[in-house]
A = this chain, B = another copy of it.
Amino acid sequence: MSLLEALNWRYATKRMTGQKVPQEKVDIILEAARLAPTSSGIQPFSIIQITNPDLLAKIQPIAYNQPQITEASHLLVFAAWTTVTAEKVDYVYNQITRERNLPADALSAYVDRVKGIFAAMTPEQQFNYAARQTYIAFGVALTAAATEKIDATPMEGFVNDDLDNLLGLPEKGLRSTSLLALGYRDTANDWLANLKKVRRPKQELIIEL
């Protein structure tokens, strides 16, 4: 199946069967998200993998009682850093310096520039930057799910603060941005399963200059 076939096969699954997705498939999706590029390579997010049925049942009302929360096999919560501090930037570049066997100060001029960019931002701007990078990984992850023939529902319909408090994300310096419910489509019960996929036409979406 080509990538375009996979993207045409996928849809925002509204009902799932509850069948378990093998963890090795989920690990491929998570690894794809981990490999996603981010601006300056900072990867300013975490992904929380939830399989505990009790916890999923608590999340469901926070997500307006959407059935796929508990019918999914795995729920992935994408959560961005609330702030991008100099300490975090140093942490990331210390790892890069170490893994590439570079002299300790090889990147310091570059790192100072990156830190300066973030220092000039408000905390809200830092979060918006982090959230956008999180959505790159989100896009890569849902593409990986499609190529693995795992159904995936991208979701923004939930009360972020309530979910964050339930999961203890504020203490981790994280704020949820989106959910990806992974499972298998329940074609018989999903009203969206057989509806035509609609996208804005190419000649409208793409501008050639």
* A residues apposed to B, CB below 8 Å: 3-4, 7-8, 10, 12, 28, 30-37, 39, 41, 43, 45-52, 55, 92, 95-96, 99-100, 128, 131-133, 135-140, 142-144, 147-148, 154, 156, 167, 172, 177, 195-200, 202, 205-209
- CB of A209 within 8 A of CB of B167, answer yes
Partner of A3, one of B12, B32, B197: B32
- CB of B30 within 8 A of CB of A8, answer no
- CB of B195 within 8 A of CB of A100, answer yes
Copies in the complex: 2
A52 to B195, CA, bound (A): 40
Closest residue of chain B to A98 (Cβ to Cβ) is B198
A6 to B1, CA, bound (A): 15
Partner of A202, one of B30, B36, B37, B148: B30
- CB of A49 within 8 A of CB of B205, answer no
- CB of B144 within 8 A of CB of A52, answer no
Given A41-B198, A156-B39: A177 in contact with B132 (beta carbons within 8 A): yes
Contacts of A139 in B (CB 8 A): 36, 135-140, 143
Given A4-B31, A46-B206, A205-B43: A200 in contact with B132 (beta carbons within 8 A): no
Closest residue of chain B to A43 (Cβ to Cβ) is B200
- CB of B132 within 8 A of CB of A202, answer no
- CB of A35 within 8 A of CB of B47, answer no
A200 to B45, CA, bound (A): 10
- CB of A34 within 8 A of CB of B136, answer no
Question: Shortest beta-carbon distance, A11 to chain B, in Å?
Answer: 8
A8 to B34, CA, bound (A): 11
Partner of A95, one of B140, B147, B167, B198: B198
